[in-house]
Structure 1
Amino acid sequence: AHGADARAWLEAAPEDSADVLVADVFGGSRVPAHLTSVGYAGAAARVLRADGVYVANLADTAPFGFLRSQLATFASLFAELAIIAEPGVLRGRRFGNIVLVAAHRPLDTAALARRTAADAFPARVEYGPALRDFTGDARPVREEDAVPSPVPPAGAFGIG
């Protein structure tokens, strides 16, 4: 864990120096805008080794505009993407956490799906064509268009 700003830390980190990057960064209850753009994703892609994995905790709900923009952003830099979330969140029934997984190499999505389905809080894994369909026509986030993740509704995550 690092106490510095996540983006500043990534931009200063040596190329190909990390096996895993975990981004669980919230300013209050929102992912800060400067951690949502192609520039930020590019810094993460640069720091990861070829077989490394980027994992980010995001939060959204239907119609998933923020999540779709993040998928498009990371798809512009990483060959492989998957998301993990509780089924009710993926169906848009409630606001919640979605874990984004990005890598330059194929992910073992079958093993990931087995593990998440067997968890105390079962989750689904989406990847491949289904995830590309979900992303739809979302565009990568340019620096000048970056916005924080949506404000959670009252009561989400015990807030309000």
Structure 2
Amino acid sequence: MVDVRFEEDGGAVTVLLDGFPQSAVDLADPGVLHFEYVQHLALAVDALAPAGRLRVTHVGGGALTLPRWVHHTRPGSPQVVMEPDVALTDAVRRELPLPRGHRIRVRPVRGEEGVGALADASADVVVLDAFAAGRVPAGLTTLEWLLDVRRVLGDRGLLLANVTDERGMRYVARVLAGAREAFGHTALVGLHEVLKGRRFGNLVLVASGSPLDLYTLRRAAASAALPTGVLPGADVLRKVPAARPFPAGSDEAESPEPPDPGTWRRR
């Protein structure tokens, strides 16, 4: 059973899973996002997704931080959250109640099966933010699963995937290779030091079947509170030319082991 803990600090409540900081929620203002990768996910939604209500599917629930933000910034948006850990969902609902009038539905399913059950072109945005013991599950980065996400998004939808990697970005390059084959258009958003492959960290992979507006995305990144940049997927793949998509059943598709959770911090 996953160990779920809640730590309050300066108005934010951080959820820790097995000691790893997973997400943070500000109940007084869901528009405040404390983790840098969540800020980058939100930045990409604002820069690239259509205005108004969005049909959003979240693979991985955690504290439901981004679904709360979507509800706050785009009221009335229908959202589906796939979170197989029922005990976690119950604890979050108890400790961090959802706002009134939300259209957030949490389904106790894994992302692999949950996405497979969705209809074609049924989502505008799919957000992958799922971790087990601090690592992205292997089944959520294979070419086969990415092709299934592409089916759910159609030609104009947007995939945003929170992935982690160590120096050199060899793992991310393989996920990018799969996303490029499945979608055609890819980019990364992240802190400059992580994009340069200098340290372990989170990166947001952006993919779509339609060309990405990198100009608008870069302008948004330049205005971010933290030193944030954008890299076209092709630039990363040129640096790691041997990168190939992960096939179904590959144990290597699990993200690298993270550093000691005691060294992580909210930014």
**TM-score after normalising by structure 1:** 0.92
- AA aligned to 2:228 is A
List structure 1 runs of 4+ shifted beyond 6 angstroms.
none
Change in CA separation of 1:91 and 1:128 when aligned onto 2, cut-off 3 Å: closer
Q: Comparing both chains, which one has the higher relative contact order based on Cα–Cα distances under 8 Å and sequence gaps of 6 or more?
A: 1
3-state secondary structure, aligned to 1:98:
strand
> Equivalent residue for 1:59?
164
> Equivalent residue for 2:82?
2
Q: 1:3-152 alignment to 2 at 5 Å?
A: 3=83, 4-127=109-232, 129-147=234-252, 148-152=254-258
Whole-angstrom distance in 2 between the partners of 1:20 and 1:143: 23
1:128 to partner: Cα distance: 5.8
After superposition, the C-alpha distances for 1:54-85 in whole angstroms (9 at most, x for unaligned) are 00000002221210110111111111000011
- 1:153 equivalent to 2:233? Answer no
Change in CA separation of 1:106 and 1:60 when aligned onto 2, cut-off 3 Å: same
Find the structure with the greater CA-based Rg. 2
After superposition, the C-alpha distances for 1:18-39 in whole angstroms (9 at most, x for unaligned) are 1110001111200001111111
Whole-angstrom distance in 2 between the partners of 1:78 and 1:12: 20
Answer yes or no: is the 8 Å Cα contact 2:188–2:233 preserved in 1: no
Change in CA separation of 1:141 and 1:9 when aligned onto 2, cut-off 3 Å: same
Whole-angstrom distance in 1 between the partners of 2:205 and 2:239: 13
**Runs of 5+ in structure 2 lacking a partner?**
1-80, 84-108
- AA aligned to 1:94 is R
Whole-angstrom distance in 1 between the partners of 2:197 and 2:115: 32
Whole-angstrom distance in 1 between the partners of 2:243 and 2:188: 16
Change in CA separation of 1:67 and 1:112 when aligned onto 2, cut-off 3 Å: same
**Runs of 5+ in structure 1 lacking a partner?**
none
1:156 to partner: Cα distance: 4.7
- AA aligned to 1:85 is G
Aligned residues: 158
3-state secondary structure, aligned to 1:58:
strand
My pick for the range that moved more, 36-45 or 124-133, is 124-133
**TM-score after normalising by structure 2:** 0.56
Whole-angstrom distance in 2 between the partners of 1:128 and 1:56: 13
Whole-angstrom distance in 1 between the partners of 2:132 and 2:233: 31
Whole-angstrom distance in 2 between the partners of 1:146 and 1:14: 28
Percent identity of the aligned residues? 35
Change in CA separation of 1:11 and 1:85 when aligned onto 2, cut-off 3 Å: same
